[in-house]
Chain A
Amino acid sequence: QGRLVQSGSEVKKPGASVKVSCMGGGYIFAGYYIHWVRQAPGQGLEWMGIINPGSGRTKYAEKFQGRVTLTTDTSTKTVSMELTNLRSDDTAVYYCTREPTTTWGQGTLVTVSS
């Protein structure tokens, strides 16, 4: 099954950027696409985008186009999600999950507050 380990919580000011990492282990890293999903406090799940960790090709949700960038580093088996121009409503737990979405990271809380 493997595992995904995410970076720790972040506190950012409005307008700043945040980068959350997700390190894969125990499986063939380049073989499985990785999604990013977020969940605002008390709200539902929201799909942000997907990356092919081997090729680096990506697909982003229309809502996040221009603000989100997914990248991969096969040498460290890590994918990262960067979200720019943060707003208060970006406060959420951000998850990475590996296809077929049976393996999830532990989640990273990003708080945006002035």
Chain B
Amino acid sequence: SYELTQPSSVSVSPGQTARITCSGDVVAKKYVRWFQQKAGQAPMLVIHKDKERPSGIPERFSGSSAGTTATLTISGAQVDDEADYYCFSVADNNLDDGVFGGGTKLTVL
């Protein structure tokens, strides 16, 4: 089965750029999605198909993928972006195995 590896934590100051990586063989084979999760809330999709932003997600959120590593970039991070972030790989709308990364705690202070 596939695995996705994320750093456990990333810390930036407000206004700086935060980058969170997600590595694994499956990244080279399938699209990656990124979720933001704040305490006590359901996850929220912020990036799908490696780099597409759903409606309503601020432009400061962007995604990229190269080889076996996907990256979520938050340009000009805000205090409100402090949350846990998870990468997830699965084929779109298909009966396919899904796998989450272990999650990254983003601290903005």
Q: What is A's interface to B at a CB cutoff of 8 Å?
A: 32-33, 35, 37, 44-47, 50, 52, 57-59, 61-62, 95, 97, 99-102, 104-107
Bound-state Cα–Cα, A33 to B75, Å:
32
Residue contact B42 to A105, C-beta cutoff 8 Å? yes
Contacts of A107 in B (CB 8 A): 42
For the complex formed, measure the closest distance between the CB of B44 and the CB atoms of chain A, giving whole angstroms.
Answer: 8
Chain B residue total in the interface (Cβ 8 A): 26
Q: Does B67 contact A (CB under 8 A)?
A: no
For the complex formed, measure the closest distance between the CB of A74 and the CB atoms of chain B, giving whole angstroms.
Answer: 17
Contacts of B44 in A (CB 8 A): 104
Q: Does B90 contact A (CB under 8 A)?
A: yes
Choose from A33, A50, A62, A104 the contact partner of B1 (Cβ within 8 Å).
A62
